[in-house]
Structure 1
Amino acid sequence: MELEENTEQKVDIFQQAIGLAKENHRLAQEKEEAEERVASQAKFPSENPNPVLRIGNDKCLLYANAPALSLLNNKLLNGETAKTGDQVPFEFQKMASHAFSSQSIQQSEIKVGMQTFHLQWAPILSEGYVNVYGRDITKRKKTEQALKESETRAQEVLNHAACGIITIDEHGVLDSFKPAT
């Protein structure tokens, strides 16, 4: 009888151990999957083709993806190379401070060589840093400039025309009138 009880206890303990081993295996798989998801999400800013950086309230660079490092390196003097922990260029310090003090998202444009970037400065007050999201707007700026030049040329044609000119918008409303000279 005692032998049967010992055997039953051992079988019971063995079954519990198998159950625990299965549970441990399941938890290990869940942990591995969660770590893979976190690693994938962590790569998101580094894979962004646009500049993404983080500046601490001490004006030091906390993070910069490759496009942001390129932008920073072009703004630094003496051919320096930006790296985590370094002070950011003065104009970046100024905008980061403004975002912190206003406690709101700020917008700016910065020219770097032949490129123009729109930067959005998002202060994360509880963490003590500003996230900066950039976008290359060079094509848009060139298009805006071309449009202004086209409008100026059109206005010059209107101003120097010998005959009278009337322009009407798409709703039939008089837009401009230039009498004959």
Structure 2
Amino acid sequence: MKNNKKELSSEQREELLKTLKNRFEKNMNRHKDIEWAKVQAKLEANPQKLWSLDDMEVTGGEPDVVGYDKSKNEYIFYDCAAETPKGRRSLCYDRAALDARKEHKPQNSAMDVAADMGIEILTEEQYRELQQFGKFDTKTSSWLKTPADIRKLGGALFGDYRYGTVFLYHNGAESYYAARGFRGALRV
């Protein structure tokens, strides 16, 4: 059980680091030229980021390192589960969409859950980048960070992978489906 300070116990931290290291070593194609020891040192120095990664893990995201931003000295993690995380599905896009629903409201919105977790929803560019590492969302779909001009008109973007192609679509932001969730990004 997590505490309110958004920090993991030493046992939780050790277990998460072990899980992340194993995933890192099994998927070297996602992070060529990145050393696990340096990633681990950054993680250990940022307990709140570890808390966010644990949330990504617990909700089924299978977070992994997908890059390194030299200018900011940050490692970039994305949810790398084959399908959109099970613990983050059946959500409308944002709080405004949730508030606009008069009946059959979902439990929450993707943007609110992401904020609570301390992560960002993937952008269209990040989603396409993720798809370079494998085939993701072949049976599900994921909400994507939607440009303000589209959102202002009531829409929101989501993506999936079908027929050997990454597709981006639109939907009303208030819609939600059992097979649609969201993928997150975290910089450490």
Give the TM-score, by structure 2 length: 0.20
Structure number, greater radius of gyration: 1
> TM-score, normalization: structure 1?
0.21
From the two aligned structures, give the one with the greater helix fraction: 1
